[in-house]
Amino acid sequence: MMANTLNDQNLRVAADWWMRLRDPAASERTTAQWLAWTDEDPAHLSAFERVTELAVRLQALGEVSRERLLAEFVPTQAPSRHRWLPAAAAAAVVIVAGGYAGWRALGSTDTSQEYASAIASQQNVTLEDGTRVTLGGATRLTTHFTRGRREVDLTEGEAYFEVVHNASRPFEVRAGDVTIEDIGTAFNVRRTGNFVTVAMAEGRVRVADATGGGHNSLEAVAGQSVTYDPARAAMNVTASDPANAAAWRSARLEFDNEPLSVVVANINRYRQEPLRIADADLNTLTFTGTVKADAIDDWLHALPQVLPLQVSEAGAQTVLSDTRRKPTQH
């Protein structure tokens, strides 16, 4: 009887945590407190997973409110001998509500969701597992969650992930030819075409290059960044400041020896009037430094002092042209 009482309590607390983590006002402290609770006892994480499974099923039938979810786990009246609806009973309720065909469709608990942000904006989202994601400017990603895996496809842009770790249900981000698998972590992923940068803030991830098979993979930890350059089909690991892993959230765009083409593409995610490189020879020049997202014009004004180019206006675009002497044509 004592075991059942403890199990009931864990499920009630887990239901409350599920709703708190999805609250847009949830802070990093909320996530840290949730992680501390799951670390106290393996049964806590198991209870949270059971709550998540039921919540996903309920969500497929309609919006999940705190009252609706907690009603399954936290009775408002004095508890009876059926204080918590076991998984089998909960399934029966769903079958009655949606019919057998509907239940079969929900049984796989496969869910997909698309997210997108506008130019020069940020968007904070909380995924159904409690993972928190911040999208940078002009960013698009799609999530696909199943019983056994959690997958995110970063189509373009940049996103910072604070992952709710679950070893039995891996979390993986795909960015072009690169995959990043969470091993208990907070990290940033920036995709510019197939040029990918992963910056670690906490924990560890496994980064793999799909073009190189299983032989081309590595683990990165807090204080490291991994860059994948498709032109070289190789990954490069460098030291980095964990505090700057997602500096763009504070309007600072950080670049470390990156091609000018990559720099310009990322700056364009924060500038309504796009930059354009007029001469292909400029693409391979590299830039290291910080560009303030709210002072891009100041950076442009200073750029000719750093690189051999000139900045000019052409219609609704700002053009970067090569100032190096061109060979004389005969």
Which ranges in 23-147 belong to alpha helices (H)?
Answer: 28-40, 42-61, 66-73, 87-107
Minimum mean pLDDT range among 77-86, 172-181, 196-205, 287-296: 77-86
CA dist list (Å): 207 to 121, 194, 217, 230:
28, 14, 6, 15
Torsion (CA) 33, 182, 201, 216 in degrees, nearest 10: 170
Residue 4 pLDDT > 80:
no
Q: What tokens were used for 149?
A: 């895996």
Q: Go through the domains of the chain in sequence order and give each one's CATH number.
A: 2-107 (no CATH), 111-243 (2.60.120.1440), 251-322 (3.55.50.30)
Which pLDDT band, with edges at 50, 70 and 90, does 213 fall under? low
- Region 223-239: what's the mean pLDDT? 90
> How many residues are there in the chain?
330
Residue 259 identity: P
Which residue is it, tokens 């799909």?
210
| Distance from C-alpha of 100 to C-alpha of 220, rounded to nearest angstrom | 46
* Angle formed at CA 262 by CA 327 and CA 293, multiple of 5 degrees: 120
- What's the pTM value of the predicted model, to 2 decimals? 0.68
What are 92-119's pLDDT values in tens digits? 333 333 333 333 333 346 889 999 999 9
